[in-house]
Amino acid sequence: MSGLYLYDDNRAREFEPFALTRPVADMVAGAALQRERWQTALQLPVVGVITAAHLADFDEVTSSPTARGGIPAGSVIANARFVPKLSTVQLPAQGAGGESLDTGFDLWLSGGRVAAARTSRELPADYFTEGRLTLDDVGRSGAETTMLDGWWVEDVWDFVRLLPEQLADDLAFFQKPSFGGVVTASRSAPPPAHAIVIGNHPVMIAADRLVAGEVVVKGATIEPQVVFDATAGPIHVGAGSTVHSFTRLVGPCYIGRNSTVLGDRLGICSIGDHCKARGEMSNTIMLGHANKGHDGFVGHSYIGRWVNLGAGTITSNLKNTYGPVTLWTPRGVRDTGMQFLGTMFGDHAKTGIGTCLTTGTVLGAGANVFGGQTPPKAVPPFAWGSAPPYSVYRLDKFLEVAERVMARRHVTLSNRGREQLSAAHRARWMVESSE
C-alpha cells in the first residue's frame, strides 16, 4: 500500500551497535522514535521500512513491517537519518473526515539534500537492497518541492551530540495541541505543591485521563522532595511514571510512560517508556524497556532496548586529556570531534556489577560482560565473559534469557522476533583490534 517508507541508506546501516538489531526508524532522536517523528511531520502513516536483510523480521510493538515486493507509485520514501524539527512542521489542513489532505509535494529538501521523495512509479523493494541508492535518484526532475527544518544524523554519535537541542525542540512541540503520530503528554498538569520547582521553563506532568469519571490512563506520580530544575529547559514526565523522592530532574528532560526514576540527578536526558533509572545521568538516551536500577554514573551515552546495567556500572564520558573521543565503527576507529562521549549500549547488552567503561566504548548487542574488569573500547555483539578474548554467547541460551527478561515486563518474544535475533547472531561483527 502507498504511504510513508523509511529508508536506511548504507551510512545508516553502519550505526553500530544498533544497526545489527534495529532499523533507524526505531531509534529515538530527542524524545521521539524516528518513525513517529516522520509520521507527525508529513501526516502520513508509516507503512514500511527499507533496511538491511538481517532485519527483515524486526518486530516490536507498533513497529512497521519491512518493505517487500513493490513500493507503490505515489508513496513517499524518507531518509531515516534525517530528523525533522517538529516545532517548525507546517501541518496540512484536516479534511472533514479527519484525514490529512494531500500537499502535492514530491520532494522534501533540507540542507541542499533530499530528505524525502514521492515515487512517480512503482519501485521494487530490492532496488534499495545495498543501501547505496540516494533519494536524489528517486525524485523526478521538475518535482514540486518544499523545505524541511531538522538535523542530518551523519554518524551514530550524533544522536548524543544533538540531544540537547533536539530534546528542547521536542518539548516545545509537546506544549502545542497534539496532532498525533508522536508520543505527547496529551493532558498535563503542573507539578504538585510538594515538589520543588526552579526556573521558568514549563514542567509538564501527565495527568489522569478520565472517561465517564473513571481513570483509563493513570497520570504520573511525583513523590515529595522532587526537584524540577527548569532553569535551562522544560521537563516532561509521562503517564504512569513515578519519580521518587530526592530526585533532581534538570531540563531539558523527558521521562516517557510507565518508567520509574529512583533518585539522584538526571540532566538533559531522554528516558523512554518502561525504564528504570537510578543514579547520576547526563546527556543520555534510554530507548525503552531498559534497566539502570542501581547507582553508577552514566553520561553522554545511548542505551538500547532490553539493556540491564549491573550495580555500580560507570561510564567515563571525558578523557583525562580533555581531548576528542574516538569511537569504533565498522569502518575503523574514528575521531568523533566530541569532548564528551560515553558508551553506546546495544540492544540486550548486560553488564555485571562494578563494570567501568572508558570514554567512547561500544558494547555490542547481546553482549554480556562481567567480572569487574574494564572491557576494551569495542566489545563485539553476543560476547560473553569477564575479559577478552570473549566467548560467543550461545544463541539458544541468549534467546532463553531474552525471553525471560521480556516476560518480566509482560512482553512476549514473538516468533518473528526470535528469527530476527537469530539473523543478528549470524550477522554479528567482530573487532580485529581494540584500544
Q: pLDDT tens digit string along 38-67?
A: 999 998 999 999 999 999 999 998 888 898
| Pairing relationship of beta strands 196-198 and 46-50 according to DSSP bridges | unpaired
**3-class secondary structure, 361:** strand
Does pLDDT of 187 surpass 70? no
CB contact at 8 A, 258 and 275: no
**CA distances (Å), 390 to each of 99, 182, 315, in order?**
53, 40, 20
Q: Tell me the pLDDT band of 144, cut-offs 50, 70 and 90.
A: confident
Does pLDDT of 97 surpass 70? no
pLDDT for the residue 433: 52
**Spatial separation of the C-alpha atoms in residues 24 and 37, rounded to whole Å:** 12
pLDDT for the residue 407: 96
What pTM value is reported for the model?
0.94
Q: Tell me the pLDDT band of 88, cut-offs 50, 70 and 90.
A: confident
pLDDT for the residue 214: 67
Neighbours of 2 (CB within 10 A): 16
**Spatial separation of the C-alpha atoms in residues 221 and 2, rounded to whole Å:** 42
218 or 223, which is more confident = 223
pLDDT for the residue 126: 85
The residue with cell 545489527 is: 20
Neighbours of 329 (CB within 10 A): 17
pLDDT for the residue 210: 61
Ranked by mean pLDDT, the top range of 90-99, 183-192, 410-419 is 410-419
**Spatial separation of the C-alpha atoms in residues 53 and 45, rounded to whole Å:** 23
**Spatial separation of the C-alpha atoms in residues 265 and 282, rounded to whole Å:** 8
pLDDT for the residue 389: 93
Residue 146 is placed in which grid cell? 518544499
Q: Tell me the pLDDT band of 220, cut-offs 50, 70 and 90.
A: very high
Residue 14 is placed in which grid cell? 553502519
Q: Residues 351-367: pLDDT tens digits?
A: 999 999 999 999 999 99
**Spatial separation of the C-alpha atoms in residues 215 and 223, rounded to whole Å:** 20
Phi-psi domain of 98 (left: phi exceeds 0; alpha: psi -120 through 50; beta: other): left
Q: Residues 372-406: pLDDT tens digits?
A: 889 999 999 999 999 999 999 999 999 999 999 99
